Each structure stands twice: as structure tokens, then as C-alpha cells.
Amino acid sequence: MKKLTYLLFLAIGVTACSVESIDSTENLLTADMKFKSQSSVTITPPDGVLCAGEELTFSVSVTTDKQFQVQMLNDDLADWDQVHQESQGQTGSKYFNVILAEGENTFRYTNQSGGGWTYYSTTFTGIDCSDCDNSLVVDFVCEETKTATFTFTAVEAGPIVIQGGLSANAEITSQNSNVLESVWHQSTGGPSSVTRWVGEVDACEEVTITIIFTGGNGIGEWTAKRGEDLLGSTDAQECN
């Protein structure tokens, strides 16, 4: 599952004598009331997949001399829940935890001014991560130029080491991964062309490793581990 990351940048400049609507390619932001000070706000979700039902830490980066809140729409009650509040005179990043529902989750930033509030809203999408498993599979194409494509997912985010080898006399012509890095290890190299891939993965994130090689007669066993825990493995495969 690919990472889904949304970044909202709100650049707000409104004077006491005017009310403006600000258009964005991602959001339509409408100022409902006047306020006197200039403010700039950035609401940022955590990196990686936004899994519904899990507690996630968002941040709001703000420079304002007014009191502000971040609120989240409660669809069941058709009302707003306050998820963060700060007093006036705030600069920098403030953090708050929320649990997203599956699908669209609407947030709004509210800025106090002149006895009222001005509202700016945006949405983040919660993803159902409950249907993924700890899994490592391989698609092996054995021709004159051979291709082994490994696909891995983990139920929980964290570090991962994926390692395995090719048969003797194989020569790797290219190798890459969308998430992990290939690193040297005392167990890598040698006649079996063992490679080792390490990195941090998100929950239910689809990780791929593609190795193209010539020579040899197949691939060996591969494993995916987190510490001593085996999260997936594939069997050796021969070309004939």
C-alpha cells in the first residue's frame, strides 16, 4: 500500500477592512468573519499510511497573536470535537493526537477575532489497514535475463531486514527497492550473490525489491525479519 500523505498549507492575510476567499487547488478556504492580525498555518499529518482506528500524531505549525483551535467533525453527532487548543501568541509546531475514521475526516482551524471565529477546513483520508498481513512473496521470471520481484507487507510499522540469495554464478545487473536500501553485511556477497535490504516500513505499506540478473539457475530462500521475529519467507526456486 502506497504511502498516502497530505500537507495543508494555509496562507492567510486578512485586514480589518476586508474579507477574502482564498482558492487552492486542493481546498476552498472561505473567511467567514474579519480578524485583525495576519496568521499563517500548516497542518501536517504523520508520514506514511493514515490508518483508520489508530491513534495518529498530527502537528499544527502556526504564527498568530490570537487564540486558536483545531477541531474535527464528528459525523455521528454532526458536530465538531475540539482536538487541540492554544492561547494567543503562538509560534511554531504544536502536536495533537487523533483517531481517524475510514474515509474522509474533516478538520477545521479556527482563529478567534473580534468576538467571533473564522473557520478554515480541510480533509484527511483514513485507510483501512486491517486487511493486510505479514507477508513476503516473490514473482520469479526465469529467462536468459532473469527477474525476481519480491513484495512485502507488515501489519505494524517498524524496521525490517529482507535478505536472500541467487544461485551460484548469478551476476546481478540491476537491483532496486521503493523503500529499502541495499547494504553490505558479512553474510552478503560470495558465490550465492546474497543481498540484504534494510529500512523502516509503515503499517500495510507495500514494499518491493526487484533484482535483475544473468547466469545462475534460480533463487535461494529469502526471509523478512524484525529482530528475531520472522515476518515472511519464500522458498528457493530453480529454472529447471
Q: What is the pLDDT of residues 189-230, one digit of tens each?
A: 555 578 999 999 988 889 999 999 999 899 999 999 999 999
Query: Is 183's pLDDT higher than 50?
Result: yes
Query: Is 38's pLDDT higher than 90?
Result: no
In this structure, of 88-92, 103-107, 141-145, 173-177, the range with the lowest mean pLDDT score is 88-92
CB 127 within 8 A of CB 108: no
Position with higher pLDDT, 134 vs 128: 134
Q: Could you tell me where the DSSP H helices lie in the chain?
A: none
Domain ranges of the chain: 8-126, 135-227
Query: Is 25's pLDDT higher than 80?
Result: no
Domain 8-126 shares a fold with domain 135-227: yes
Q: What pLDDT does 193 receive? A: 77
Cα(223)–Cα(146) distance, integer angstroms = 20
Q: What pLDDT does 150 receive? A: 98
Average pLDDT over residues 59-76: 84
Q: What pLDDT does 78 receive? A: 87
Cα(144)–Cα(154) distance, integer angstroms = 33
Is the entire prediction scored with pTM above 0.75?
Answer: no
How would DSSP label each residue in 114-176?
A: TTEEEEEEEEEEEB--TT--SEEEEEEE-SSEEEEEEEEE-SS-EEEEEEEEE-TT-EEEEEE
Query: Is 138's pLDDT higher than 90?
Result: yes
Average pLDDT over residues 115-142: 83
Please choose, from the candidates 9, 10, 5, 4, the residue with its C-alpha nearest in 3D space to the C-alpha of residue 118.
10
Cα(36)–Cα(145) distance, integer angstroms = 67
Cα(219)–Cα(239) distance, integer angstroms = 9
Cα(138)–Cα(156) distance, integer angstroms = 21
Cα(71)–Cα(82) distance, integer angstroms = 4
Cα(125)–Cα(131) distance, integer angstroms = 17
Query: Is 17's pLDDT higher than 50?
Result: no
Position with higher pLDDT, 48 vs 138: 138
Average pLDDT over residues 146-155: 95
CB 29 within 8 A of CB 120: yes
Q: What pLDDT does 121 receive? A: 76
Q: What pLDDT does 15 receive? A: 31
Q: Which CATH number fits domain 135-227: 2.60.40.1930, 2.60.40.1170, 1.10.287.70, 3.30.1490.480?
A: 2.60.40.1170
> Which CATH number is 8-126 given?
2.60.40.10
Query: Is 40's pLDDT higher than 60?
Result: no
Q: What pLDDT does 185 receive? A: 65
Beta bridge partners of 137: 151
Q: What pLDDT does 62 receive? A: 79
Query: Is 123's pLDDT higher than 60?
Result: yes
Cα(209)–Cα(215) distance, integer angstroms = 19
Cα(121)–Cα(118) distance, integer angstroms = 10
